[in-house]
Structure 1
Amino acid sequence: MLLNRDPSSRLGSKGGANEIKQHAFFRGINWPLIRGTEPPPLDAPLRITEKDPNAKDIKWEDDGVLVNSMDIDIDLF
């Protein structure tokens, strides 16, 4: 219902946020507590100080499309 392709029948399209909050899936959530809680700080990203000698060179186009594919070993389970 929330991810319905048809926007007119999507959960929240008629009643807004209250319709979503009152759905059975969200039963038991303390909405005022969530609204008044400060989110935890995010961890700082790792800084890369030098190039990894084992890393493979990857070429990207200006629009962010991968030009060369990488050799990846994938273990299927």
Structure 2
Amino acid sequence: MNSRPSRHLYEAHDRNWDLHVTSSCHRVKLYSVNTTKPETARRLKQFEEHKTSINPITRPVPFDLETEEEYLEEMRKRGGRDPEE
């Protein structure tokens, strides 16, 4: 038997660094919200109606943000989702 580790130290370091970056990038602090903007006020009202907190802001919202009709109307206005080439 030989006593060499199965992985080189730099490989373990790289793997740990990757985990560090992945987990730390989701820690976003929210200091203030400008409630005077109509879209922001509307979104905050949706959270209030669903008795849901806006925090943490990196978690997916547990309810639909727009109806199917609203989505289709917005896509018609924008001409679809594909960028112009």
Q: TM-score, normalised by structure 2?
A: 0.20
Higher relative contact order (CA 8 A, sep 6+): 2
